[in-house]
Structures are given as structure tokens and as C-alpha cells.
Amino acid sequence: MIDLHTHSNRSDGTLSPAELTARAAAAGVDVLALTDHDSTAGLEEAARAGKPLGVRLVPGVEISASWRSQAIHVLGLWIDPESALLRRALEAQADRRRLRLDKICAHLAAIGLPGAQIKAASQSAEGLPTRSHVAQALVKLGHAKSIEDAFRRYLGRGRAAAIAADWPALGEVVGWIRGAGGCAALAHPMRYALSSGARRGLLEDFKESGGSAIEVVTGGNAAHHIDACAALALRYGLCATVGSDFHDPERAWNPLGRLAKLPDCVIPAWKNHGV
Ligand code: AMP
Ligand code: MN
Ligand code: MN
Ligand code: MN
């Protein structure tokens, strides 16, 4: 079984890279990509843990980009994590994340919440801060009932602390991934708040800038989304990937590796990679 989109605690997942790999093995996944947000810090540990379990680790990352002022996620798969270009780029992404955390907490403080306390509770011991960490801190400190509630009240679209990070342009991010020898795959294409016309524009620009694949099957995706993504893959000449976007065993609706089959009409991205 193949799962090419997962998170560890090096970004906003709850399991360590080794725990994630063991859980993937137990779920029958034998080709696993670890794709932490803007970080490759967990890849070595995951690869090492995977070897004796028969899990082949695909070195990956999920990079935040912007397109027409929308945050877009691009998966870099089969990347060389040692690429100097990519390493420099991910350091800059980490700086952007830290800066955004400061801004988010300042906005929360401005509406009367304890900004400094929330910032301290949002720092991740193992990896980069994400909005998920802020949401967890808001829950822990009693300002939200759940992660979803924290996004709904404070962090999501149009809310007081919805801070657009200054992510680099989509084409630039695709360039980093290609520069590191990787395959750039557009993550969860149906999750962006875009009209279908705008979505086609996104795919067109993605292909134009060197994107190679699109995530056709993603965790919790409805069947009609799979069909829509397969149609986009065919229309723009892109390969297809599958990934759960697993973060946390507690989110039982989004398990590792339990993914729908790719439609026969699309070309799997792993065909070029000996899988
Ligand atoms: P960031 O990359 O820092 O903007 O954080 C984005 C992450 O927050 C995503 O990868 C999801 O894991 C999580 N997230 C975003 N929106 C929601 C939501 N409405 N409910 C729960 N988690 C969310
Ligand atoms: Mn996430
Ligand atoms: Mn994502
Ligand atoms: Mn993800």
C-alpha cells in the first residue's frame, strides 16, 4: 500500500517520525512519504525506522506557497533533502512561520487573549510552529473547545487572527522542489476556496511552472472529488499521487494508508520512481 502524504511531530503531526513509520507498517503501508510542513527534519529518523519494517521511505516535504493571495500546499516527493537550494529555502520558510506566530499572537492579544502565554504554549519542542499548534494552545488554555473550534473562532478565514503568511509564489516553490530533484505535486486540490474556473487557472500555472503531479486521492476525499481531480490530471498532463494527510491517530476518520484506488485513467507519479 502506498501513502505519499503524512505528518510527524516535526511539523503538526502528533507522532515522532519513528512512531509514524511503525504505525504505517502496521497498517500495511510499504511505501510511505513523510511530508512535514516546510521541514525535512524527520526524514532520516523515518527512513531508519522503516528499514527493518519493510517500509520504503519516500523523502518528502509539504511546502506552503501563495497563488493569487491563496495559501497553496505543494508536496515535494523524492527530493534530495541535502540540496543546498532547498535547505536555504526551508530555513526562510521557518523564519516566515516564526514571524507569523508572533503576528498571530499579537492579534490574539489585541482582542484580549493572553498573547504571550499562547505563544509560549504554541512553541513546538520538536519542530516548526504551525497554526495547528496555536489551535492546540487555545484549546489547552480554555479559549476554544476543539482544534476546529479554534480555527472557527480565531484562526480561520475572516477571523481576528487569520494572518496571511508571506509565502513565496507558487512557481518559486515548484522551482525549489525541482532544484532538489523532486516531483512537485499539488496537495489536496479541492480543499482551496476557489471557483472551478480559478482552480483551472491554478492548475494551468502549476503545470506551466514545472509541476508534475496532482494529489488525486487524499484522506477523507469524496468519490466525486477523486473524479474531478483525475479529470484535472488528464486535462493538464499531470501524474497522480495518493496520500492520507495523516496527522494524528486520534483523528480516526483520517487513518494512514486507507485510501481509495487511483482511477485507471491517470498515470501514478511513482511509476517513474521504481515503485
Ligand atoms: P499552517 O500551515 O501553519 O497554516 O497550518 C495549517 C494546518 O492547520 C493544516 O495543515 C491543517 O493541519 C490545520 N488546519 C487548517 N485548517 C484547519 C481547520 N479548520 N481545522 C483543523 N485543522 C486545520
Ligand atoms: Mn497540517
Ligand atoms: Mn496541506
Ligand atoms: Mn498535509
Q: Which pLDDT tens digit goes with each residue over 63-116? A: 999 999 999 999 999 999 999 999 999 999 999 999 999 999 999 999 999 999
Radius of gyration of the chain (CA): 18
Q: How far is the CA of 131 from the centre of ligand 2 (A)?
A: 8
Reported as a pLDDT band with limits 50, 70 and 90, residue 264 is very high
147 lines ligand 1 (CB under 6 A): yes
Distance CA 121, CA 136 (A): 8
What is the whole-number distance in angstroms between the Cα of residue 75 and the centre of ligand 2? Answer: 12
Cβ–ligand 1 contact at 12 (below 6 Å): yes
pLDDT mean over 11-20: 97
Of all atoms in ligand 1, which is nearest to the CA of residue 129?
Answer: 3
Residues with CB under 5 A from ligand 2 (ion): 12
The pLDDT, as a whole number, for residue 158 is: 92
Rounded CA-CA distance 207/49 in Å is 35
Q: Are strands 183-186 and 70-77 parallel, antiparallel or unpaired?
A: antiparallel
The 3-class secondary structure across the chain, one letter per residue, is CEECCECCCCCCCCCCHHHHHHHHHHCCCCEEEECCECCCCCHHHHHHHHHHHCCEEEEEEEEEEEECCEEEEEEEECCCCCCHHHHHHHHHHHHHHHHHHHHHHHHHHHCCCCHHHHHHHHCCCCCCCCHHHHHHHHHHCCCCCCHHHHHHHHHCCCCCCCCCCCCCEHHHHHHHHHHCCCEEEECCHHHCCCCHHHHHHHHHHHHHCCCCEEEEEECCCCHHHHHHHHHHHHHHCCEEEEECCECCCCCCCCCCCCCCCCCCCCCEHHHHHCC
Residue 201: which pLDDT band, with cuts at 50, 70 and 90? very high
Listing from the earlier edge strand, what are the strands of the sheet with 31-34?
A: 2-3, 31-34, 56-67, 70-77, 183-186, 213-218, 239-243
Compute the distance from residue 102 Cα to the ligand 1 centre, in Å. Answer: 17
Question: Percent of the chain beyond pLDDT 90?
Answer: 91
Is the pLDDT assigned to residue 258 strictly greater than 90?
A: no
Q: 156 in ligand 1 pocket by Cβ < 6 Å?
A: yes
Please state, as a whole number, how many other Cβ atoms lie within 10 Å of the Cβ of residue 260: 14
What is the pLDDT averaged over residues 267-272? Answer: 94
Bridge-based pairing of strands 56-67 and 31-34 is parallel
Residue having the nearest C-alpha atom to atom 2 of ligand 1 = 130
Ligand 1, atom 12: nearest CA belongs to which residue?
132
CB of 148 closer than 6 angstroms to any ligand 1 atom:
yes
pLDDT tens digit sequence for 158-187: 999 999 889 999 999 999 999 999 999 999
Q: Is 11 in the pocket of ligand 1 (CB under 6 A)?
A: no
Average pLDDT for the chain: 96
Q: 30-41: per-residue pLDDT in tens?
A: 999 999 999 999
Distance separating alpha carbons of residues 110 and 59, to the nearest angstrom: 40
Q: What is the pTM of this model?
A: 0.97
Mean of the pLDDT values across residues 252-266? 90
Compute the distance from residue 40 Cα to the ligand 4 centre, in Å: 13
Q: What is the pLDDT of residue 268?
A: 97
Atom of ligand 1 nearest to the CA of 130: 3
Among residues 179, 237, 188, which one has the least CA distance to residue 208?
237
Q: State the SS3 of 197-233.
A: HHHHHHHHHHHHCCCCEEEEEECCCCHHHHHHHHHHH
